[in-house]
Amino acid sequence: MMLSHRVGQACHVLVLVLCLSAAEDFDWSANNHDSFYYGTFPNGFSWGAGSSAYQTEGAWDKDGKGLSIWDVFTHKKGKTFLNDTGDSSCEGYYKFKDDISLIKELNLNHYRFSISWPRIMPTGIRSDHVNEKGVKYYSALIDELLKHNITPIVTLYHWDLPQVLQEKYGGWQNISMINYFNDFANLCFERYGDRVKYWITFNNPWSVAVEGYETGEHAPGLKLRGTGAYRAAHHIIKAHAKVWHTYDTQWRNKQRGMVGISLSGDWGEPVDITNQKDIEAAERYVQFYIGWFATPIFHGDYPQVMKDFIGRKSAQQGLGTSRLPTFSSQEKSYIKGTSDFLGVGHFTTRYITQKNFPFNRGSTYFSDRDVAELVDPRWPDPGSEWLYSVPWGFRRLLNFIKTQYGNPVIFITENGVSEKMMCTELCDDWRIQYYKGYINEMLKAIRDGVNVKGYTAWSLLDKFEWDEGYSERFGLYYVDFKNKNKPRYPKASVQFYKRIIKSNGFPNQREVENWKMKATETCSTSNQLLAADPLTSHMEMVTEVVVPTVCTLCILIS
């Protein structure tokens, strides 16, 4: 009896030690920048590209769609670059068949898009009204993809909350969102789940929480500093878990799909990898980013370091409880393990060092972390201000995820680069360079044992880039937003990405260099096409106006 008790205790300790060491496995001191690796991806690796509803669809008030918080936010002056809105954007709502031809042209295995909640439930509340026209639109899109053998990966929430839910309840600040979101997800499983097998509950909840409810740069534009982001994230994590359980209990047997979440995170590299303080600061940066959401989902609770830092700072402020909400023990076990795969969105890296923020200057998510971010001025930054190209950070992040969350199945849901402002240059060699480097580091991560099953280039088209309006172009295809037909033109990176897909990787140096040369040759022809575009639109006008006039004249004369 005694002995078995001891053995039991020893096992318990062993399990604990194993759990702890599993989460501490990541080797901060080993950042080896190996040379380019020539080789291929595992068979069946899935290649794709992505988009999101508000960023591409347009048709913001058509066919019974309700308002989203982004419709309202962008219609207020001063919220976006040049007051740009997504009202018409790429007109993807009308041009989805054309876009699927582009996807075909690229030979993609999957396409990631999102469903606009207010397009199919105008107030966000199922019992109010289901908009069948909206339901039909996504159904047709899914059918068209499947007809061409392209797997749909569907995001349920890419930031466009129904405005009514914001106005009535305060959006993600309110716990009632959990049930409303679950009803919406359930409708999607009901209507599309026979054909859709990959579901992403939330896209990049970090942005929703921090930019929507803490800094106010994104819709709904609230600046609830030090509390708003934590509360929004808390409800989002619970809503995610609820939707996963709904699928698990009601649909999985019949539909045999997978449900995951897509988390975005920059990599944080210690400024000095031999300095323990820098290592701790870098780890905090990553834990406050991806760990904030991934740790509850994989381990049941927030990262210890978040609980410690936010708790201590809240106490110093004289608050009775932490600004970081807590999960009850039932909630912890309900949330733990609610991801069949992990979606990862990744764009860039920062160097991190420790920096103390005194609590008396006001508390925010940013000051709670006690870190400073730095960049190396030699890192290329072709586009968005925040986006430096640091391919090795991608491999580091993927290895970190592997060690922290028990080597989950990963789909890269977003990775790509933008270009500056109004650039109409289709010869985007900097994007080729970016994709080449990042995809290669992902290949190295797979060789390290990270379980990456698919890659989604972000994005298929240039599109509305949130508060940056149309000033930042992430597309493989250029969209001429000034032309009402919104024509699409392939950038050189289309040719390059196509070759990677065809070879399922990078066969050898000679060939890969040849791809780059060929890609840049074709883009000069496309550049000419783009330059000729005003003429094309003029010619359409001629057909629209002159041809009927000439015909009428002919009839009159005869």
Nearer to ligand NOJ, 135 or 153 (CB): 153
Q: Where are the alpha helices (DSSP H) in 107-221?
A: 117-120, 132-147, 163-169, 177-192, 205-213
Q: CB of 345: closest distance to ligand NOJ in angstroms?
A: 6
For ligand NOJ, give the closer residue by CB, 264 or 526.
264
Q: Is 414 exposed, middle or buried (0-12, 13-18, 19+ CB in 10 A)?
A: buried
Is the backbone peptide bond immediately before 270 cis, with ω within 30 degrees of 0?
no
Which parts of 243-282 interact with ligand NOJ (CB under 6 A)? 264
Query: Which strands sit side by side in the sheet containing 349-354, from one edge to the other?
Result: 267-270, 349-354, 371-374
Hey, what are 522's tokens? Answer: 């074709």
For ligand NOJ, the closer of residues 269 and 414 by Cβ is 414
Question: Cβ of residue 465: shortest distance to ligand NOJ, in angstroms?
Answer: 6
Three-state SS for 345-411 is: ECCCEEEEEECCCCHHHCCCHHHHCCEEEECCCCCCCCCCCCCCCCHHHHHHHHHHHHHHCCCCCEE
The answer to the question of residue 345 lying near ligand NOJ (CB under 6 A) is yes
* Residue among 457 and 494 whose Cβ is closer to ligand NOJ: 457
Which residues are 155's β-sheet partners?
A: 114, 200
Residue nearest to ligand NOJ (CB): 204
3-state SS, 178-198, equals HHHHHHHHHHHHHHHCCCCCE
First to last CA, the chain: 112
What phi, psi does 155 have (nearest 5°)? -95, 135
54 vs 184 by CB, closer to ligand NOJ: 54
Contact mark string toward ligand NOJ, 471..490, x via CB under 6 A:
---x----------------
Q: Is 204 in the site for ligand NOJ (CB under 6 A)?
A: yes
The catalytic position among 414, 441, 468, 472 is 414
Distance CA 460, CA 467 (A): 19
Quick one: 474 or 497, whose CB is closer to ligand NOJ? 474
Q: Check residue 151 for interaction with ligand NOJ (CB under 6 A).
A: no
Minimum CB–partner distance for residue 193 and ligand NOJ (Å)? 24
* Residue the block writes with tokens 């939330």: 202
* Cβ proximity of 305 and 292 under 8 Å: no
Could you give the CA distance from residue 23 to residue 400 in angstroms, rounded to a whole number? 9
CB 451 within 8 A of CB 410: yes
Q: How far is the CB of 189 from ligand NOJ (least distance, A)?
A: 23
Q: Quick one: 468 or 480, whose CB is closer to ligand NOJ? A: 468
Site string for ligand NOJ, 383-422 (x = CB under 6 A): -------------------------------x--------
Asked if residue 201 binds ligand NOJ (CB under 6 A), the reply is no
Closer by beta carbon to ligand NOJ, 203 or else 389: 203
Smallest distance from ligand NOJ to CB 184, Å: 19
Among residues 326, 319, 365, 356, which one has the least CA distance to residue 225?
A: 365
Cβ pair 76, 468 in contact under 8 A: no
Q: Among 41, 49, 52, 348, which residue interacts with ligand NOJ (rule: CB under 6 A)?
A: 52
# chain residues binding ligand NOJ, by CB under 6 A:
9
462 binds ligand NOJ (CB under 6 A): no
When binding is defined by CB under 6 A, the residue of 166, 182, 201, 203 that contacts ligand NOJ is 203
Q: Which two tokens stand for residue 16?
A: 């604990």
By CB under 6 A, residue 368 contacts ligand NOJ = no
Residue 105 bears catalytic tag: no
Query: Minimum CB separation from ligand NOJ for residue 497, in Å?
Result: 17
Residue 517: CB atoms within 10 A of its CB come to 8
> What is the spatial distance between Cα 113 and Cα 384, in angstroms, rounded to a whole number?
22
CB of 204 to ligand NOJ, least distance (A): 4
Q: Are 105 and 463 in contact (CB under 8 A)?
A: no
Nearer to ligand NOJ, 341 or 506 (CB): 341
Nearest-approach distance from CB 468 to ligand NOJ, in angstroms: 8
* Angle made by CA atoms 96, 101, 103, in degrees to the nearest 5: 90
Instruction: Say which residues have a Cβ less than 8 Å from residue 512's Cβ, sequence separation at least 6.
Output: 38, 436, 506
Burial of 443 (0-12, 13-18, 19+ CB in 10 A): buried
Told to check if 465 binds ligand NOJ by CB under 6 A, we report yes
Least distance in Å: CB of 203 to ligand NOJ? 5
**Residues acting as catalytic residues:** 414
Q: Which residues bind ligand NOJ (CB under 6 A)?
A: 52, 55, 203-204, 264, 345, 414, 465, 474
